[in-house]
Structure 1
Amino acid sequence: MREQKNRQDREYGKEEASLIQEGGYISPIPDLWEDILIGVVLKKPVLLKGPSGSGKTKLAQSISHFFNQPMHSVNCSVDLDAESLLGFKTINADSGQSIIEFVEGPVVQAMKKGHILYIDEINMAKPETLPILHSVLDHRRMLTNPFTGEVIHAHPDFTVVAAINEGYVGTSPMNEALKNRFISFSIPYLSGEQLRKIIQTLFPQSDLSLVNTMMNINDDLRKQVMNGLLAEEAASVRSLLDAIALAEHMPIRRAIQYAIAEKLEDRMERDLVRELVETWVK
C-alpha cells in the first residue's frame, strides 16, 4: 500500500526537480504538482480543468509514473455507454460448448487492480451515462456491476483522474452531483522558462534561433487569446510542439500553418495567425 511518507520524501528542493516530472509534465505553478499529489494520496477523485493542449493528459501520465501505477484510459464521447466503462459479455467456444464470459472494462479493471482510471473529456459524455460512477467516486468506492451482479470494492490504491475542456463544442456542463465528487485543479498553459525548458528537453538539437522565434510567436498568440481575438487552441502547447517538430524540416511559415492556423475554423483567426508569424519570420 502506498505510504504518505514515501510521497513526502520525494525531492522537491531543486527548482528543476519541482518542474520536470517523471512522466514529462512541467508545472507552470510551483505548488500545483504537489497539491495534486496530496489529493491523490487522500484518495480524492481529481478533476483537471484546462484548455486543449495544456498538458492534462501528460499530467495524468506523470502521476502514473510517479506512483509506478498503471493507468486505464476512457475517452469520452456521446457514444460512451455502460459497456465501454464496465465491460461486456461475449460468447466463447470451449470444448465444443459455448460459454458466456464477461470481459472487464477499464473501470472494473482499475478498481480491482488498484490502478489509475483516467477519464478524458468527461464532459463530452452523455449526462445519463456517468451516474453509474457515482458510488465509485464517493466515499463508498464500490460498484455493483449491472451486467454480472458482482459487488466490487475498490483496491486501496485505486485512483481516479478526470479531465475536461470547458466551453468547447460538443461539451456540456458537468452534473453537479458528479462534479461535487471531485476536487478540481485549473491547468494553465505553459509559458516563459517552463515552456522553454520542455522545448529544449524535447528538441535538444533545435537551433536556438528557431526556439526563440517559436517562443515569440507563442507569446503573441497567447496575448491575442487573452484579448479574445483567437480561440484558445491557437496557443496550445501541443500545437506549438508540433510546429517546432515540423519547422526542423520545413520553413516556419508552413509549419505554423499546418500545426496551428489550419486547426482554426474562423478564416479571420487563421489570417491573424499568419500576420503574427510575419512579424517574426523575415
Structure 2
Amino acid sequence: MQIKDELPESIKEQLQHYQTNTTTYTALIRKGGYMPPNKEIVTDAITALLLGKNILLKGPTGAGKTKFAETLSNLFQQPMFSINSSVDIDAESLLGFKTLNYEGEKQVIEFIPGPVINAMEHGTFLYIDEINMAKPETLPIINGVLDYRRSITNPFTNEIVTASTGFNVIAAINEGYVGTVPLNEALKNRFIVIEIPYIQGEQLKQLIFRNTQLTDETVVDLFVKLSNDLIQAVAQGKIAEDGASIRALLDACDLSKHIPARRAIQRAIADKLDEDREREFIMSLAETLFS
C-alpha cells in the first residue's frame, strides 16, 4: 500500500509501522479480529485516527463494525470505553453521575465518570455503537468533544475536561432500522465516514475457518455460497438486511457442526426475520445447497 506523500512525516512513519507490522490479513486473523474486505479500509481508518479524526463506521448489521472497532483498539494498543446507544441514553449515561459516598464518617457527594469522561481523561478510544439510536437532543452534549476543541464543560461538576493525548472517537451506525433517526449535519460533519461492507469469497472462507468449529472445506464453501446468495437477495429487496448478517452466518456454521445444516440456518438466520416469505426464501436456499 502506497502512503500518500502529503501526509505529515510523523503520520507516514506510524502508518508504515502499522502496515508492515500489524495490518496484514494474517496478523488481523491471528488476533481474532476483523478481517477487512480490502486493506484500504484499514489503512484509511488508521490514517484518520492518527490524524486525530473521528471515524463513523457505516454498514449493514452483522458486517463487523464493532469487531473492526475492537481490532483498531488492539492495533493501537488502546483500551476502549463503549457506549451502547438507545432512546434512553442521557447526559448521565455519557458523562457520569453524582452519588453519595463516605470519607470516614463524613458523607460527601462524589462524581462517578461515565465513558466519555473516562476516555477523555485516560486518553483512550471511545466507541459509540448505533449512534443514531440516541435521541437527537442528547448527542449535542458532546459536540465539543468531537471537534477541534476536544473538551467539554461537565454539567455535573462545572469543570472543563480536555481530552488527553491518544483520545479518539469511533462510532457505528445502522441506517434505516426501527428506532433510528438520521444524524444531523452538525454531528455527521464531525466524522470521517468509512463504509463497512459484508466480506465475501475467500476472505469469508478464512473467517469461517478461523472463527467457527467447521473444518470441512466442502461445507464451508457451501456456507460461503449461501452468504453470497443472501447478500444478493438483500440487494434485490427479497429479504431484510438482517438475513445477510455475517454474525448470524457464523452462528449457523457453529451449529451445523452439531445439528443438520438446514436446521442450523433456520435457527441462526431464517427465524430471526419477521416475514414468512423471507424465511421461506432462506430455507429454500438452504434446501438447495444442503440437500
- The number of residue pairs the alignment matches comes to 281
Mapped to 1, the partners of 2:60 and 2:77 lie a distance apart of 27
Q: Partner of 1:164 in structure 2?
A: 173
Q: Which of 53, 57, 61 is the matching residue for 2:62?
A: 53
Aligned-residue offset at 1:15: 6.3
For residues 28-60 of structure 1, give each alpha carbon's deviation from its aligned partner in whole angstroms, at most 9, with x where no partner exists. Answer: 123111011000001101000001000000000
Check conservation: 1:23, 1:58, Cα contact below 8 A. no
Check conservation: 1:54, 1:190, Cα contact below 8 A. yes
Check conservation: 2:34, 2:64, Cα contact below 8 A. yes
* TM-score computed with the length of structure 1 as normaliser: 0.95
Check conservation: 1:48, 1:186, Cα contact below 8 A. yes
Q: Which of 206, 209, 233 is the matching residue for 1:200?
A: 209
Aligned-residue offset at 1:18: 7.8
Mapped to 2, the partners of 1:29 and 1:129 lie a distance apart of 35
Q: Which of 78, 86, 92 is the matching residue for 1:77?
A: 86
Q: Secondary structure at the match of 2:264?
A: helix
Q: Partner of 1:10 in structure 2?
A: 18
Q: For residues 203 and 49 of structure 1, do their structure 2 counterparts lie closer, same or farther at Cα, with a shift above 3 Å needed?
A: same
Q: Partner of 1:190 in structure 2?
A: 199
Q: For residues 43 and 21 of structure 1, do their structure 2 counterparts lie closer, same or farther at Cα, with a shift above 3 Å needed?
A: farther
Larger mean Cα displacement after TM superposition, 10-19 or 75-84: 10-19
Mapped to 1, the partners of 2:122 and 2:264 lie a distance apart of 43
Mapped to 2, the partners of 1:15 and 1:143 lie a distance apart of 37
Mapped to 2, the partners of 1:156 and 1:22 lie a distance apart of 25
Mapped to 1, the partners of 2:216 and 2:261 lie a distance apart of 12
Mapped to 1, the partners of 2:279 and 2:185 lie a distance apart of 37
Q: For residues 167 and 158 of structure 1, do their structure 2 counterparts lie closer, same or farther at Cα, with a shift above 3 Å needed?
A: same
Mapped to 1, the partners of 2:163 and 2:24 lie a distance apart of 36
Stretches of structure 2 that go unaligned for 5 or more consecutive residues are 1-9
Q: Counterpart of 1:192 in structure 2: which amino acid?
A: G
Q: For residues 136 and 179 of structure 1, do their structure 2 counterparts lie closer, same or farther at Cα, with a shift above 3 Å needed?
A: same
Q: Partner of 1:268 in structure 2?
A: 277
* Root-mean-square deviation over aligned CA pairs: 1.8
Check conservation: 1:55, 1:187, Cα contact below 8 A. yes
Mapped to 2, the partners of 1:263 and 1:65 lie a distance apart of 31
Check conservation: 2:120, 2:164, Cα contact below 8 A. yes
For residues 216-247 of structure 1, give each alpha carbon's deviation from its aligned partner in whole angstroms, at most 9, with x where no partner exists. Answer: 21121112111110111111110000000111
Are 1:128 and 2:137 counterparts? Answer: yes
Larger mean Cα displacement after TM superposition, 72-81 or 16-25: 16-25
Aligned-residue offset at 1:20: 4.0
Q: Partner of 1:30 in structure 2?
A: 39
For residues 53-96 of structure 1, give each alpha carbon's deviation from its aligned partner in whole angstroms, at most 9, with x where no partner exists. Answer: 00000000011000100000000000000000000000013322
Are 1:39 and 2:48 counterparts? Answer: yes
Q: Counterpart of 2:98 in structure 1: which amino acid?
A: K
Are 1:66 and 2:75 counterparts? Answer: yes
Mapped to 2, the partners of 1:77 and 1:204 lie a distance apart of 33
Q: Secondary structure at the match of 2:18?
A: coil
Larger mean Cα displacement after TM superposition, 267-276 or 92-101: 92-101
Q: Partner of 1:211 in structure 2?
A: 220
Q: Secondary structure at the match of 1:166?
A: coil
Larger mean Cα displacement after TM superposition, 272-281 or 75-84: 272-281
Q: Secondary structure at the match of 1:193?
A: helix
Stretches of structure 1 that go unaligned for 5 or more consecutive residues are none
Q: For residues 139 and 21 of structure 1, do their structure 2 counterparts lie closer, same or farther at Cα, with a shift above 3 Å needed?
A: farther
For residues 187-243 of structure 1, give each alpha carbon's deviation from its aligned partner in whole angstroms, at most 9, with x where no partner exists. Answer: 000101111111111236522222122112112111211111011111111000000
Q: For residues 161 and 257 of structure 1, do their structure 2 counterparts lie closer, same or farther at Cα, with a shift above 3 Å needed?
A: same
For residues 117-147 of structure 1, give each alpha carbon's deviation from its aligned partner in whole angstroms, at most 9, with x where no partner exists. Answer: 0000000000000001100000101010000
Q: For residues 134 and 11 of structure 1, do their structure 2 counterparts lie closer, same or farther at Cα, with a shift above 3 Å needed?
A: closer
Mapped to 2, the partners of 1:36 and 1:18 lie a distance apart of 17
Check conservation: 2:240, 2:273, Cα contact below 8 A. yes
